[in-house]
Homo-oligomer: A and B are copies of this chain.
Amino acid sequence: MEKINIGKNVFIYPMPVTLLGTTVDGKANFMALGWVTRINANPPLLALGVNKVHQSSKSIEENRTFSINFPNADMIVETDYCGLFSRKDIDKSDIFEVFYGELETAPMIKSCPLNLECKLLHKYPLPTNNLFIGEIVAAYTEERYLTDGKLDMSKMNPLLLTMPDNNYWNVGEPVGKAWSDGKKFKRKE
Interface residues of A (CB under 8 A from B): 1-16, 18, 32, 34-49, 51, 70, 73, 76-85, 94-95, 99, 101, 110, 114-116, 124, 126-129, 131, 133, 135-144, 147, 150-153, 156, 158-185, 187-188
A80–B181 touching, CB < 8 Å: yes
Q: Give the chain B neighbours of A45 by CB distance below 8 A.
A: 49, 126, 129
Bound-complex Cα distance A164 to B149 (A): 10
B82–A151 touching, CB < 8 Å: no
A133–B136 touching, CB < 8 Å: no
A102 to chain B: closest CB distance in Å? 9
Bound-complex Cα distance A128 to B180 (A): 24
Interface centre among A4, A13, A151, A152, by most chain B C-beta atoms within 10 angstroms, is A13
Q: Give the chain B neighbours of A163 by CB distance below 8 A.
A: 178
B144–A8 touching, CB < 8 Å: no
B7–A139 touching, CB < 8 Å: yes
B164–A173 touching, CB < 8 Å: no
B165–A151 touching, CB < 8 Å: yes
**What are 10 A-B pairs at a CB distance below 8 A?**
A4-B140, A5-B140, A12-B18, A13-B151, A15-B16, A40-B49, A45-B126, A79-B182, A84-B182, A167-B177
A49–B38 touching, CB < 8 Å: yes
